[in-house]
Structure 1
Amino acid sequence: MPAHRMIDVNGIRLHIAEHGEGPLVVLLHGFPESWHSWRHQFGPLADAGFRVVAPDQRGYGRSDRPADVSAYSILHLVGDVVGLIHALGEEQAYVVGHDWGAPVAWHSALLRPDVVLGVAGLSVPPPFRGAQPPLAVMDRRFDGRFYWNYFNRPGVADAEFARDTRTTLRKFFFMASGDAPGAVGVERMLVEDGRGWLESVPDPEILPPWCTEDDLDALTESFSRGFTGALNWYRNLDRNWELTAPWHGAVVTRPALYVYGDRDPVPAFPGTPDLIAALPRLMPSLRRKPIELAGCGHWTQQERPDEVNTALLDFLTELRG
């Protein structure tokens, strides 16, 4: 079992879970998750001779939650990764991210290749900055119904999700999993005008086998202070687009790995399937073709821990060797 402690990074305190000794591997969770999302990776990675650290990122779990929305920009989040690596007494690390943690991992490698030895992303592919701010693009494409736009309405999603935290998380995890019925597509991510997102999301009577009641209890506890800090990440999407202008057209040059599920709605976003198909050409630093996991939904490392661990261990041990 990992040990837990608080650590000072960039003027805030982050809660971390850590296990093992050796080269440092930083695991970055997504939304709505916590360090607990990596529970299946600690043992195998530590047994293979790595020091594994998974923080609750800013705005999540026991970590600090700055009140200023602008304190959740991609530069702050990358700064936390770099600061964490240094606070742990290391100069470099391997960085792995899932969901929102994947853009943080990719941008850490893009902005600070001197610190990142190798990078792996689960679900969300490497960043290729678009020509226009993302919120406006999605607003036009989906008439304001896309969940990014819904999350940007101050206090709205915060209140909806906090009314019954456990039910919110149960619905989230089932809806985006490979176990949810129906076709995979962006339709799952749309919010009808005048309704909350969760209103049309099914509430499963029985959780999928990869998510136990104990897992849901741990996740529910991590959101006991609400969802605002986590939602503030989405409220910086256009700010991130502005801040990353100097890197427009740049690609990740550090050794990279990308893994996703064929029933994950995120890789089905508009334009993303074409991007994934083109990744071996667009990003030569990929050590192998994108790995697609059959029957896997959005919660990649939780739904398919054995396959993800194998892919990570092959990648990390190759780089270490």
Structure 2
Amino acid sequence: MEVKARGLTFDVYEGGPDDGEPVLLLHGFPQDHREFDLLAPRLHEAGLRTYAMDQRGTSPGARPADVGAYRITEAVADAIGVLDALGLESAHVIGHDWGANVGWLLAAWHPERVRTLTAVSVPHPKALRLALRVRPAQRARLAYFKVFQSRVAERMLLARDAAMLRLMLRPIGERAQLYVDANREPARLTGGLNWYRAFTADQMADVRLISVPTTYVWSDKDGVVSLTAALRTRDWVDADYQMVAMRGISHWIPEQAASALAGAALSRIQGV
């Protein structure tokens, strides 16, 4: 369905029992709502109602031209606006990659709107900041940010039949083609890359302790997030907390390990 919020139109894909507790699903880059295709049915079987939102830059009706419009703070406001439009006072939140960042900020700044948080792959911003300061290897892991912020990022990702994009998504096998095809649309790819171009460290400066029940899911083959950042996330949650570490799984947890992620998310949601 199309949901109008903040002067934009977001594509939101709903499923599960009408009377189920609501779960807001927030995707990352270069994916969209379909990264939860393998997870959502397991949540529906447990009686939950899911709302998978194509975020700013991905939804065709939510692609502002100005790079500054893609600050993470705008994406947080989008999520609140969509919850309002859906008539939901609060929801369980599951976010991956950039969606996890949005989830952390939602829980930090609007805890009354977040019943539980399951953050996938990306740790609490302050834990990542610490790892960047004390672990040179963590800085190296995020070197791709500069590439994605460049003016030629679109060409680089799509060159030679999208070879770089395919390499990024290789762990999810044939499903990678879904996102290769989707990102051939120039406006769509630019919208996703603008999240990187608009990002500055000050946007995360006011991220405080998390006061809602939280699970952080990390995988040991993640090429982006170090163990230090994963472990120190615990320092920033002042509520019931669990870290779930997956072995042999890459950054793309929702599609590579959907069953295990469902177990972690359901344990969090049903444990409240």
TM-score range, shorter chain: 0.7 to 0.9
Q: CA deviation at 1:33?
A: 0.5
| 1:31 and 2:45 are equivalent in the alignment | no
**Aligned pair in 2 of structure 1 residues 170, 110: CA closer, same or farther (>3 Å)?**
same
| Residue identity in the other structure for 1:258 | Y
Quick check: which has more Rg, 1 or 2?
1
Q: How far apart are the structure 1 equivalents of 2:34 and 2:165?
A: 14
Aligned residues: 262
Q: How far apart are the structure 1 equivalents of 2:80 and 2:103?
A: 10
Pairwise CA RMSD of aligned residues?
2.4
Q: CA deviation at 1:218?
A: 2.7
Q: How far apart are the structure 1 equivalents of 2:160 and 2:58?
A: 17
SS of corresponding position for 1:58: coil
Q: How far apart are the structure 2 equivalents of 1:151 and 1:68?
A: 17
| Residue identity in the other structure for 2:145 | W
**Partner in structure 1 of residue 182 of structure 2:** 222
| 1:242 and 2:225 are equivalent in the alignment | no
| Residue identity in the other structure for 2:179 | L
Q: CA deviation at 1:46?
A: 1.3
SS of corresponding position for 1:221: helix
| 1:101 and 2:99 are equivalent in the alignment | yes
| Residue identity in the other structure for 1:106 | W
| Residue identity in the other structure for 2:221 | R
Which of 32, 40, 64 in structure 2 is aligned with 1:66? 64
**Partner in structure 1 of residue 8 of structure 2:** 12
| Structure 1, gaps ≥5 residues long | 178-209
Indicate conservation of the 8 Å contact 1:57/1:63, yes or no.
no
Which of 167, 181, 195 in structure 2 is aligned with 1:171? 167
Q: How far apart are the structure 2 equivalents of 1:217 and 1:51?
A: 28
Q: How far apart are the structure 2 equivalents of 1:282 and 1:24?
A: 25
Q: CA deviation at 1:88?
A: 1.0
**Aligned pair in 2 of structure 1 residues 298, 131: CA closer, same or farther (>3 Å)?**
closer
| 1:274 and 2:228 are equivalent in the alignment | yes
Q: CA deviation at 1:219?
A: 2.0
Q: How far apart are the structure 1 equivalents of 2:86 and 2:42?
A: 21
| Structure 2, gaps ≥5 residues long | none
Where is the helix percentage greater, Structure 1 or Structure 2? 2
**Partner in structure 2 of residue 318 of structure 1:** 271
**Partner in structure 1 of residue 214 of structure 2:** 256
SS of corresponding position for 1:33: coil
Deviations 1:27-51 (A, max 9, x none): 1111110111000111111121111
Deviations 1:190-249 (A, max 9, x none): xxxxxxxxxxxxxxxxxxxx532xx334323322322111011011221xx32444x25x
Which of 27, 52, 55 in structure 2 is aligned with 1:54? 52
Q: How far apart are the structure 2 equivalents of 1:63 and 1:296?
A: 34
Sequence identity percentage: 30
| 1:296 and 2:249 are equivalent in the alignment | yes
| Residue identity in the other structure for 1:218 | L
Q: CA deviation at 1:86?
A: 1.1
Q: How far apart are the structure 1 equivalents of 2:247 and 2:38?
A: 19
Deviations 1:168-203 (A, max 9, x none): 4321112xx4xxxxxxxxxxxxxxxxxxxxxxxxxx
